[in-house]
Structure formats: C-alpha cells, structure tokens
C-alpha cells in the first residue's frame, strides 16, 4: 500500500503532511508510540526539506511518499534543493552545539526510527519503521 503527496515549500503545508500520516496510519491501527514516532520523524524530514533543502521557495516542491510493507513503514521525503553532506552533520548533543537552534531534525529522525538513509546528495531521505 502506498500514498503520496506533493506540497509547495511553505511551512503551513506541514498540516497536509500530518493529514497524510493520519489517513495512512488509520488503515493499520498502530500503537500510540509508533504513531508518534512516525509523525514526528516525517514532519522533521518535511520541515528540513522545506526550510533547508528548498529554502522556503514556494515554487519548489517537497514530495512525500509512504509505503506500508508487511513488516515496515517506509517514508520518503524529497526536495528540489542542492543537497548537503549528510556524512558531516554536527552532533547536536555535543556541548558546543547544545544552544544551536538548528541541527536537531536529523538527530531526532535517527532516534525515532529504525533506519535513516540519504540519497541523491541528501535531497531524498528514507525513514524506516519496523512493525
């Protein structure tokens, strides 16, 4: 089973992402913990795509795709930005980064999910949740 959504790069469109997740996860009843993890990780990925990837350019789109497999949920979020070096992300828990207001999204995604993978120079992220 699969659902997709394309949104313009505006923060208010994160509500559409929330609605997509709600509609998709209603099909398979999930415990609240897994639902919360999926919601937060997906919103973080979409927000990163809007703000950092597409630089809040409403002419650029963010594509979200959710796939339900027998044993997992796969979530893909893709932006039209230039990408980034996902191998060199500062640790937000390091003392020198604690007060930074940015830099926690990918850390959260990794903590909440079972696996996070980047493709296409970092313009596409795959988030996996085992069920």
DSSP string, 36-89: HHHHHHHHHHHHHIIIIISTT-TTSEEEEEEEE-SSEEEEEEE-SS----TTS-
Which letter does DSSP use for residue 126 in this model? E
**pLDDT at res. 88:** 84
Q: Domain ranges in the chain? A: 2-130
Contacts of 25 (CB under 8 A, 6+ apart): 35, 38
Alpha-carbon distances of 71 from 9, 74, 121, 122, rounded to whole Å: 31, 10, 28, 26
| 3-state secondary structure at position 90 | coil
Tens of pLDDT, residue by residue over 24-42, are: 877 667 888 999 999 999 9
**pLDDT at res. 76:** 98
- Second CATH level (architecture) for the domain 2-130: 2-Layer Sandwich (3.30)
């Amino acid at each position: 089973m699969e659902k997709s959504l394309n949104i313009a790069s505006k923060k208010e469109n994160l509500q559409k992402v929330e609605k997509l997740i709600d509609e998709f996860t209603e099909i398979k009843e999930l415990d609240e913990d897994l639902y919360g993890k999926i919601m937060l990780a997906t919103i973080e990925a979409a927000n990163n795509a809007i703000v950092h990837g597409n630089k809040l350019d409403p002419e650029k789109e963010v594509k979200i795709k959710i796939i339900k497999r027998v044993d997992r949920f796969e979530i893909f979020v893709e932006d039209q930005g230039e990408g980034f070096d996902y191998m060199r992300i500062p640790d937000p828990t390091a003392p020198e980064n604690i007060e930074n207001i940015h830099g926690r999204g990918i850390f959260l995604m990794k903590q909440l999910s079972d696996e996070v993978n980047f493709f296409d120079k970092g313009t596409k992220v795959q988030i996996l949740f085992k069920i």
